[in-house]
Amino acid sequence: MKIFYAIQATGNGHISRAMELLPYLQKFGTVDIFLSGANSTLSLNAPIKYRSKGLSLFYTCDGSLDYWKIVKSISPYRVMKEVRDLPVENYDLVINDFECITALACARKKVPSVNFGHQASFVSDKTPRPDKPSKAGEWILQNYAKASNYIGLHFESYDDFIFSPVIKEEILQAEATNKGHITVYLPSYCDKQLIELLKLFKDHRFEVFSRQALKPYTVDHLNFRPVDSKDFNRSLISCHGIVCGAGFETPAEALYLNKKMIAIPIQGQYEQQCNAAALKKIGITTLDKIDDDFTGTFNNWVNDPKTPSVHYQYSTEAIINILMYRCTDLKWQLEIPYPDLIFN
């Protein structure tokens, strides 16, 4: 089987998930990767067959999207040329992790595809939304990467096509500890803004993973570090708690490790607002933005003994088997759609 796997590189979560999925996908055939996007900080440790600047997201320094930079990066001529040239018709299975060019190419060439990943879960109206849903945000989630089939991932199985998050093997095998530090991963903020915010909490040590830091450096009780998967995993496994955006992979792993969390969605990024609504239902502290109330919120949170968590039922291998069972003609190779590969 020839598999085309489109990976969105507008953030680190998609790449992190792809590195866990690849070994299981490769059991079913050869996998050619299309990496689309220009602003991730993690590298993909696998051969990349096709590459595109895609439609990327960029951020300001104060927790919001940089709309002007996003618009400037869009080249309609380039996008349509890539849509025309992308050879999705040469593959037995097209897997699309919320990537627009692949979706347009499949629509143009009438090639079936599966939208596989976190964003696919928002096809269901059972998936949590904020109190005031965004019409524009809903349109993007429903239309940005349309497919003929959907396999969603989320914190909980809100619908019959939504399954557990893909958790990195290093996290699965880890024994969580508490060395007292607070891990911080807020990529929509710059170092200057984070220093001004966190310098107030002198009684706590912070390990801050920064999109700006080229090498580690320290400012008083703040330890800034470049974004590196192994270093971040170490910090998360051993932290007292984490302050992060309301993305998907990092909150999912924090929940798995029973870590305290403050989740702050990127302003203007509707998917993160939806994730914050889901995390709030679970019992996680969520903020719309960092404001003058942050000091009180942080102090209450850091001293609160409660650590909400969830139970993830499906392993990565089980999820890939489900995908193959539902979206290909390989049913005869799989005895049952849900093999005994679930978590205990």
Whether residue 200 is predicted with pLDDT greater than 80 in this model: the reply is yes
Q: What is the mean pLDDT of residues 180-208?
A: 94
Distance, CA of 332 to CA of 325 (rounded, Å): 9
Residue 2 has pLDDT above 60, yes or no: yes
pLDDT given at position 336: 46
* Phi, psi (degrees; rounded to nearest 5) at 101: -65, -40
Q: What is the CA radius of gyration of the chain?
A: 20
Name which of 93, 92, 85 is nearest 109 in CA terms: 85
**What is the Cα–Cα distance from 326 to 320, expressed in whole angstroms?**
10
Which of 1-15, 109-123, 178-192, 237-251 is least confident? 1-15
* Side chain identity, residue 140: I
Q: What is the helix, strand, coil percentage profile of the chain, to 5?
A: 35, 20, 45
Residue 40 Ramachandran class (φ > 0 left, ψ -120 to 50 alpha, else beta): beta
Q: Is the pLDDT assigned to residue 310 strictly greater than 90?
A: no
The structure's pTM equals: 0.89
Confidence at residue 112, expressed as pLDDT on a 0 to 100 scale: 95
Distance CA 92, CA 96 (A): 13
Q: What is the mean pLDDT of the chain?
A: 88
pLDDT at 151 over 50: yes
Tell me the CA distances in angstroms from 49 to 4, 27, 106, 107, 284, one per residue in order: 9, 18, 17, 21, 40
pLDDT of residue 330: 62
Rounded to an integer, what is the distance from CA 221 to the centroid of its chain?
Answer: 29
Model pLDDT, residue 37: 75
Tens of pLDDT, residue by residue over 275-303, are: 999 999 999 999 998 888 999 999 999 99
CA angle 253, 257, 261 (to 5 degrees): 75
Q: How high is the pLDDT of residue 114?
A: 96
If you average pLDDT over residues 168-195, what whole number do you get?
94
CATH architecture of residue range(s) 169-303: 3-Layer(aba) Sandwich (3.40)
Q: What is the pLDDT averaged over residues 209-226? A: 93
pLDDT at 332 over 50: no
DSSP 215: S
Mean pLDDT for 330-339 is 50
Residue-level pLDDT at 42: 57
Topology of the domain covering 2-166+314-341: Rossmann fold (3.40.50)
At 183, list the tokens. Answer: 């891990």
Count of C-beta atoms within a 10 Å radius of residue 300: 10
pLDDT tier for residue 343 given thresholds of 50, 70 and 90: very low
pLDDT for residue 52? 84
Label the pairing between strands 93-97 and 217-219: unpaired
Answer yes or no: are the C-beta atoms of 63 and 189 closer than 8 Å. Answer: yes
The conformation of residue 269, written as its DSSP 8-state character, comes to -
The pLDDT, as a whole number, for residue 67 is 55
Burial of 119 (0-12, 13-18, 19+ CB in 10 A): buried
- Convert the pLDDT of each residue in 103-141 to its tens digit: 999 999 999 999 999 999 999 999 999 999 999 999 999
pLDDT digits (tens, 9 = 90+) for 29-71: 999 999 887 665 556 667 889 888 766 566 667 666 655 566 6
pLDDT at 338 over 90: no
Other CB atoms within 10 Å distance of the CB of residue 301: 18
For residue 59, the model assigns a pLDDT of 61
Tokens encoding 256 = 């798995």
Q: Where are the alpha helices (DSSP H) in 90-155?
A: 100-109, 135-143
- What digits encode the pLDDT tens for the residues 188-199? 898 999 999 999
> Which of these ranges, 2-6, 205-209, 314-318, has the smallest mean pLDDT?
314-318
Amino acid at 208: V
- Residue 276's pLDDT is 97
Range list for CATH 3.40.50.2000 in the chain: 2-166+314-341, 169-303
| Sign of the C-alpha dihedral computed for residues 25, 52, 228 and 181 taken in this order | negative
Helix, coil or strand: residue 88: helix
- In angstroms, the CA 3 to CA 31 distance is 5
Paired strand residues for 210: 226
Q: How confident is the model at residue 342 (pLDDT cuts 50, 70, 90)?
A: very low
